[in-house]
């Protein structure tokens, strides 16, 4: 595991509204489950659409030779253009507007000066704060062409995320999301990270519930209509054990084999779940439920 050089924090103009933690260092909003209806849900839809748009435009820039800092710079400008604050910038001291997690990095990779190489995979994780709400979404992109096992890891992680979302019904135990993800990942020969999960999100970036992606049968949380949370499994080709780098953020697999992640923010409806992190045309580079074929094992 080697780290590059991280540049200075990018400035944000004064008219962009910041989350409370940026100035105070403390999270003042509720960390209870976020339940959104009416105008609050409309504001959440907007924040999520902005996040999806930043992710789409960032992903288009992924290419051999591009640094993750360039992805951060471009994304930073897009957030500002769309009137949003990059939620990660100054969150618990995190210094950048995106997370970029390359190859064996599980999550929270910090954009730096290292160019992407052909055969790499990179997860870009975008969180936008606008109209008082956070929208959170990520996708894993391939750089040039990747080997077949790595391509399978990425495809399986994408499908696992969508399967987890498709399993959601109002009134159900939250653990059914994990039940849709973990056995599926194992059946394809991949493991699931256990120490990080999805999270409630809305006015608060990270709220209850903790959304496990591996089965925890003691989890008693029940899903209710209007709840907004993320589903964001990280799958690994080898070990699911990982270690934090000396930068205090970058989590990397202990065997350095690749890890992939996809993430959506969803709202629970009266019949299932709706993906909120879609662009104005209803699409997402992280995938949508219409690509899912549950008739296949």
Q: Which residues bind ligand MF3 (CB under 6 A)?
A: 88, 91-92, 94, 99, 108, 125, 127, 136, 232, 249, 263
Structural contact between residues 143 and 120, judged by C-beta atoms closer than 8 angstroms: yes
Instruction: Please choose, from the candidates 206, 266, 213, 216, the residue with its C-alpha nearest in 3D space to the C-alpha of residue 236.
Output: 213
Q: Which one of residues 131, 136, 191, 251 is an interface residue with Co ion (CB under 5 A)?
A: 136
For residue 130, the surrounding DSSP H or E stretch is: strand 121-130
Counting contacts by CB under 5 A, is residue 279 touching Co ion? no
Nearer to ligand MF3, 93 or 297 (CB): 93
Rounded least distance, CB 231 to ligand MF3, Å: 10
From ligand MF3, Co ion, none, which one binds at residue 175 (CB under 5 to 8 Å depending on kind)? none
Q: Looking at residue 63, what DSSP letter applies?
A: -
Number of helices and strands in the chain (H, E): 5, 15
Shortest Cβ 232–ligand MF3 spacing (Å): 5
Choose between 131 and 136: whose C-beta lies nearer to ligand MF3. 136
Cβ distance to Co ion smaller for residue 79 or 296: 79
Measured on CA atoms in the order 155, 170, 126, 284, is the torsion positive or negative?
A: positive
Does 230 engage in binding with Co ion (CB under 5 A)? yes
Of the pair 46, 264, the CB lying nearest Co ion is at: 264
Cα 172 to its chain centre, rounded Å, is 23
Tokens of 143: 């750089």
Q: Given the complex with ligand MF3, which of 11 and 297 has the nearer CB atom?
A: 11
229 binds, among Co ion, ligand MF3, none (CB under 5 to 8 A by kind): none
Considering beta carbons, is residue 136 or 191 the nearer one to Co ion? Answer: 136
**Of residues 241-270, which lie at the interface with Co ion (CB under 5 A)?**
263
Q: What is the DSSP string of 186-240?
A: HHTT-EE-SS--EEE-SSSSSEEEEE-SS--TT---B--TTBEEEE--EEESS-S
Nearest approach in angstroms of CB 233 to ligand MF3 is: 11
Binding-site partner at residue 277 among ligand MF3, Co ion, none, CB < 5 to 8 Å by type: none
Could you give the CA distance from residue 259 to residue 151 in angstroms, rounded to a whole number? 11
- What are φ and ψ of residue 38, in 5° steps? 60, -135
Interface with Co ion (CB under 5 A): 125, 136, 138, 230, 263
């Amino acid at each position: 595991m080697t780290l590059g050089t991280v540049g200075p924090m990018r400035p944000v103009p004064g008219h962009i509204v910041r989350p409370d933690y940026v100035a105070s260092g403390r999270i003042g909003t509720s960390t209870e489950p976020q339940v959104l209806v009416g105008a609050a849900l409309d504001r959440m839809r907007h924040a999520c659409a902005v996040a999806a748009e930043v992710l789409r435009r960032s992903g288009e820039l992924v290419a051999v030779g591009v640094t993750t800092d360039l992805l951060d710079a471009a994304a930073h400008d897009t957030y500002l253009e769309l009137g949003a604050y990059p939620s990660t910038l100054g969150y618990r001291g995190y210094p950048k507007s995106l997370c970029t997690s390359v190859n064996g990095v599980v999550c929270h990779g910090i954009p730096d000066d290292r160019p992407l190489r052909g055969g790499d995979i990179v997860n870009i994780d975008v969180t936008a704060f606008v109209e008082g709400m956070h929208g959170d979404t990520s996708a894993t992109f391939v750089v040039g062409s990747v080997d077949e096992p790595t391509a399978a890891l990425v495809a399986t992680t994408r499908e696992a995320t969508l399967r987890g979302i498709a399993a959601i019904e109002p009134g159900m135990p939250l653990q059914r999301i994990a039940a849709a993800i973990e056995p599926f990942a194992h059946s394809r020969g991949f493991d699931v990270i256990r120490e990080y999960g999805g999270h409630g999100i809305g006015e608060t970036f990270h709220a209850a519930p903790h959304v496990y992606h591996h089965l925890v049968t003691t989890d008693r949380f029940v899903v209710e209509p209007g709840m907004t949370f993320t589903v964001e499994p990280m799958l690994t080709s080898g070990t699911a054990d990982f270690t934090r780098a000396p930068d205090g953020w970058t989590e990397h697999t202990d065997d350095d084999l690749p890890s992939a992640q996809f993430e959506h923010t969803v709202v629970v409806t009266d019949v299932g779940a709706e993906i909120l992190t879609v662009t104005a045309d209803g699409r997402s580079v992280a995938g949508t439920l219409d690509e899912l074929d549950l008739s296949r094992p």
